[in-house]
Amino acid sequence: MGSIGRLSTQGTVLLLCDMQDKFRPTIFQFTNIVSNAARVLQACRTLGIPPIVTEQYPKGLGPTVPELGASDLKAYAKTKFSMLTEEVQSELKALGEPKKAILCGIEAQACIACTTFDLLERGIEVHIVADAVSSRSQTDRLFALSRLKQSGAFLTTTEGLLLQLVQDAKHPNFKEIQKLLAHPSPDTGLLGLFSSL
């Protein structure tokens, strides 16, 4: 039987892809996508899951947006669409070669897709946080998520991910995670896509 996609805090890494200032006006639901990714980052910090941040051609596309809450993290600059640059691969090696990756960011049909394919080819299980991933067009977002699901990635939501990571109200960090779930995740337009996935 193949993996059912159960997540745990052990052997997992959070990948935050290219949430940069110049994308703000063009990416569908950018503000809400970043808000959800910021909650995922907060939860991962609380639970000891290491984060990795990339920026696509930052000289032209600007820095990671401050509201992500990642200003203390080194952002790896890249020009290729996959996050798996040599530097990021070295970082993964230093982290003990995680077997599972949580993926948030933009764009679904470009950097998220290429990163997912690279991770899957390396035998790393991929969990895409669908309400923390977007594109300029809803069509590209829909077909990218559908295609990545066909390839073997698991699709989840911000809240689903956080609850899966703690799994029990008796978890020592549950109260902190519960605070992140006090308000429902903002709508990022996924409901209209759901019947097609």
List the one residue out of 188, 18, 38 whose CA is nearest residue 107.
Answer: 18
Of 17, 18, 44, 104, which one is the catalytic site residue?
Answer: 18
Whether 18 is catalytic: yes
| Burial tier of 173 (Cβ tally within 10 Å: 0-12, 13-18, 19+) | middle
Strand partners for 64? 20
Q: Cα–Cα distances in Å, from 66 out to 86, 113, 117, 179, 184?
A: 25, 24, 28, 21, 22
Peptide bond preceding 125: is omega within 30 degrees of 0, i.e. cis?
A: no
Of 17, 100, 111, 118, the active-site residue reads 111
- SS3 at position 58: helix
Q: Comparing C-alpha atoms, which of 162, 161, 135, 163 is closest to residue 148?
A: 135
Whether 78 is a known active-site residue: answer yes
Catalytic residue among 78, 100, 104, 118: 78
Q: Which residues are catalytic?
A: 18, 78, 111
